[in-house]
Amino acid sequence: MKMETDIAIQLKNVFENYEIEIKTDEKVIRERYSVLNDISLTVKKGECLAVIGANGAGKSTILRIIAGLLKPEKGEVTVNGRVGSLLDLGAGFHPELTGRDNLRLNASLYNFNRNEFEAKYEEILKFADIGKFIDVPVRCYSQGMYVRLAFSLAIHVDPDILLIDDCLSVGDDNFQLKSMDKALELKSKNKTIIFVTHNFSLARQLCERCIYIKDHQIVQDAALEEVVSTYLAPSKIDKEQYHYLSAKIHEIESYEESQEAKRQQQEQERRRSEEEAAFNEMMGRRQLEEEIFQKALSERRKAEEIAWGQAVAARRAEEEELWRNEVAARREAERDRELLKKNHQRTKEVSLYAGALKLAVAPSQIRLLCDHVNVIRNAGIQTLFLKDNILVCSATAEWRIKKISEAQIACFLRWPGLEGVVQRWHFIRLENGVTGLCISMRVAASVCIENERVEFWPNTTGGVLEDAQWGNKSRFVFLGDQGKVQVETYQDDCVSGSVDQDDGRRVPYFLKTCADTILSPERASYRKVVFNGGIFLGDKSAEKRPMVLERRILRSENLAVDFQEGCCQIILGEKVITTGLGLYTSVFSHGLWRDSTQAKWKVVSFSGNKLTVRGAWPWMPVIQEWQVEIAGQNRILLNVRMKILKDIMIDMQETVLMLPQEYSSWSDGNVFQRFSENMTSDDFFRLCSLIKEADGSASVSVKGEGLPEINFKPGFIQGHRMIVENSAHIYKTQARLMHCLKGYQKEKGSVKAGEMDFFKGILTINN
């Protein structure tokens, strides 16, 4: 029968009986004697099994059946591999033959051919170590010499299975050690060993499993120590029959119990002393570590305070310089406008009516009247942009105004000293009381402009409509109390915002993102749209177009990723397991963090479990492309590339995963540790639990009660570090943060134009 490939020996329902003769004075009686009774046993390859039991229980009979020396009366025996056996003393040795002749004879019984025997012969003699007695008849051997020669042959026939009856204890100590070392060597080579013994010390060195044979049956098959304890359990003594022995046993047991109690007490005192010493050592070490930590923390805080002060001073100086430049530019623009008023005949103001709104257009000044009340002030509507980092305003331009018809007005703007830049403003009366405004530019290749925006200066109040809900993605701004007049953009490549003025009023604006801002010198010129939208009354007129945000949901069985305008929320089943912005990126430049939710995003491709999107930042010449993919059932892959359109000052950049406070512990591959209860309140004094180089192999895991374990593993990108911290300063959300952050040197223009890897990594969610 074929046996399983990992099974070496299998006995199924094996019975064996002997016929014995009982001689009395009068006659001879023959009787069947049961040696093995329904034995079933399976030994796997490479397993070492000890067999114990009283004399006559049937241990040696099992070995003889496995070795093939006996055939069972009933049952199945299957052996897979060559068997080497060391049974009772001298078994298989002819007493009149020499040791050398007996080796040759027994080698043939092991199916050892002559060449194999000759190759192993010297090793066998060396291991047996019986010297000149190899050429002496074995009837002259001592028991120890029998065992040496037989064991040496058994282990050198390259057995798959080694059977050892209780013979090793006959040899001297040196031979026992050498034999046990050889047996352990065979065990390490995945050989199967069956060891019948009464020496439990030898059995413990070799075996983990043991069977106990009693009354010709297997009564226990378990771990060695468990079986030995059963075997050695004390039996009851018949006190009437063994009166003196019972008294002696009682005396010995009482003494042993007292000695055991004394030993246990000493052991407890020793352990208590060691634990106390270890505790004192640990407390001393902890106190020393605390002192070192407090000193390092104090030095770090001092250094951070100095760096913070220097950074604040530098930022304030830079901001003041930028403010002075802008104020100077505005004053210069005001002087230029006054000069134009004096030196040029003012073009007659032209008007356009749209329902209850009147638009009056004059050079450098736009008036918007509702019920004969002007809702805008100063220039009214003006454009601004940067040319070589110098702010240029429409108020300083030379205006040429043309009324095309009663429903259209066109304005053409040129700037003295600024060649290659022309703006065209086109006002047109549309249906439903809407006044359309389209501002476009023609820019020469030699001129680089960026950050184009159009501002609306309210006479009373103004701002972004529904900014609490839509943020800078809102397409509407309002002018006047209760949103009396509203302005809508029809563009997808701009964001909205507002600027506080000294008098407390807010000036709303629309700003172009960088995707179409930096002009390439490869073409002669570009025409680009700065603004395209409509102006109307807030309580009636045009129907508002619904807000449309770039959103896609990736799904794979129970896992989903919800991408929406620059952040990803992770969903397991029906539960969102992220918080705040979820998974997002951020760039720190000129003292401000600008995260990916502020950018304008476009879907490049989407296929159910894989998404590619591209986002353009406002105020910075930065574009990012994300590739998000759900791989398998529990992995999320994120690859981010960043394109910088012109040299820019970047202090830091990071990819962040925000998780709720219910995540209570973290680990970097070792033991999980609990998060601190303290929270980071600003960017310069962070409470970090871990700071570690992102070398491509390092990762961090978090877990919490009732939540899936999440593993965050960034790939290798030069200069990036993993950070774990508690945070309460990002949009006032208390969260557990896992960052992958890179810091740059504090030098202007430190990051050159070009493309680079921003982040690549894997999130694994183990539910």
- Using one digit for the tens of pLDDT, what is the confidence trace for 627-651? 999 998 899 999 999 999 888 888 8
What CATH number does residue 503 fall under?
2.70.98.40
Between these two residues, 732 and 709, which has the higher pLDDT value?
709
Q: Is 502 in the same domain as 644? A: no
Asked if the model's pLDDT at residue 225 lies above 60, the reply is yes
More confident site: 335 or 272: 272
Determine contact, residues 695/640, Cβ cutoff 8 Å.
no
- Note down the domain range covering 181: 7-232
Task: Name the least confident of 204-213, 313-322, 358-367.
Answer: 313-322
Q: At which of 202, 232, 262 does a domain end?
A: 232
Q: Is the same domain home to 482 and 556?
A: no
Does the pLDDT value for residue 267 go beyond 50?
yes
Q: Tokens in use for 316?
A: 């304030």
Task: For residue 244, give the H/E element and its range.
Answer: helix 243-343
Q: pLDDT tens digits for 563-590?
A: 998 999 999 988 999 999 999 999 988 8
720 shares its domain with 646: yes
Do 673 and 708 lie in one domain? The reply is: yes
Give the residue, 393 or 371, on which the prediction is more confident. Answer: 393
pLDDT above 90 for 48: yes
The rounded distance, in Å, linking the Cα atoms of 701 and 679 is 19
Distance of alpha carbon 346 from alpha carbon 309, whole angstroms? 52
- Asked if residue 603 and residue 500 are part of one domain, the reply reads no
pLDDT digits (tens, 9 = 90+) for 496-553: 999 888 888 889 999 988 864 444 445 566 788 999 999 988 765 445 566 668 889 9
Q: Which of 289, 531, 287 is nearest to 394 (CA)?
A: 531
What CATH number is attached to the domain comprising 137? 3.40.50.300
Residue 237 confidence (pLDDT): 47
Mean pLDDT estimate for the chain? 83
Q: Determine, yes or no, domain membership for 127.
A: yes
Residue 216 and residue 94 share a domain = yes
- Asked if pLDDT for residue 238 goes beyond 50, the answer is no
pLDDT for res 747 = 52
Condensed to tens digits (0 to 9), the pLDDT of residues 135-167 reads 888 788 777 787 777 777 777 777 888 888 776
Query: How far from the centroid of its chain's Cα atoms is residue 559's Cα?
Result: 16
Asked if 126 and 87 sit in the same domain, the reply is yes
Higher pLDDT, 273 or 89: 273
pLDDT of residue 368 exceeding 60, the answer is: yes
Q: Check residue 515 and give its pLDDT.
A: 65
Average pLDDT of the segment spanning 48-64: 88
- Contacts of residues 28-35 at CB distance under 8 Å and 24 or more positions apart, as own/partner, are 34/216, 35/61, 35/216
- Cα–Cα distance for residue pair 340/346, rounded to 1 Å: 8
Residue 311 has pLDDT above 80, yes or no: no
Hey, which residues does 264 pair with through a beta bridge? none
3-state secondary structure 698-767: CCEEEECCCCCEEEEEECCCCCCEEEEEEEEEECCEEEEEEEEEEECCCCCCCECCEEEEEEEEEEEEEC
State the residue for tokens 């059963």: 230
Instruction: Kindly state the average pLDDT of the residues 450-462.
Output: 90
Joined tokens for residue 206: 């070799």
Say yes or no to pLDDT of 9 above 80: yes
Same domain flag for 505 and 578: no
Within-domain flag for 277: no
Q: Which of 85-94, 291-300, 382-391, 619-628 has the lowest mean pLDDT?
A: 85-94
* Average pLDDT of the residues in 555-560: 90
DSSP calls for 195-214:
EE-S-HHHHHHH-SEEEEEE
Domain boundary, last residue among 232, 264, 293: 232
Residue 544 pLDDT: 58
Measured over all CA atoms, what is the biggest interatomic distance in the chain, rounded to whole angstroms?
159
Report how many domains make up the chain.
3
- The DSSP bridge pattern shows strands 494-500 and 462-464 to be unpaired
299: in domain: no
3-state secondary structure of 294: helix
What's the CA gap between 493 and 614, in Å, rounded?
12
Q: CB neighbours (10 Å) of residue 652?
A: 15
Answer whether residue 38 shows pLDDT above 60. Answer: yes
Could you tell me if 444 and 529 lie in one domain? yes
Q: Is the pLDDT of residue 65 over 50?
A: yes
* Least confidently predicted of 27-41, 375-389, 390-404: 27-41
Task: Indicate the pTM of the whole model.
Answer: 0.54
User: Order of strands, edge to edge, in the sheet holding 350-354?
Assistant: 350-354, 357-362, 365-370, 373-374
Chosen domain end from 210, 232, 254: 232
Residue 630 sits in the same domain as residue 761:
yes
Residues 522 and 614 in one domain: no
Instruction: Compute the distance between CA of residue 577 and CA of residue 581 in angstroms, rounded to an integer.
Output: 12
Contacts of 609 (CB under 8 A, 6+ apart): 554, 555, 556, 629, 630
Say if residues 547 and 533 touch (Cβ distance below 8 Å).
no
> If pLDDT is split at 50, 70 and 90, which confidence band does 3 have?
very low
- Give residue 755's region: left, alpha or beta (phi > 0; psi -120 to 50): beta
> Which tokens belong to 37?
């009774």
Residue 111 confidence (pLDDT): 67
Residue 200 has pLDDT above 80, yes or no: yes
pLDDT at 671 over 50: yes
- Judge whether 359 lies within some domain: yes
Tokens (6 digits) for 337: 């406008």
Predicted pLDDT at 245: 55
Residue 100 maps to a domain: yes
Q: Tell whether 181 is covered by a domain.
A: yes
CATH number for position 557: 2.70.98.10
- Mean pLDDT (whole number) for 199-225: 89
Tell me, yes or no, whether 292 lies in a domain. Answer: no
Q: The tokens of 706 are what?
A: 């009732």
Q: Do 530 and 621 belong together in one domain?
A: no
Please report whether residue 593 resides in a domain: yes
Distance CA(762)–CA(765), nearest Å, equals 10
pLDDT at 517: 46
Give the residue-averaged pLDDT of 397-423: 91
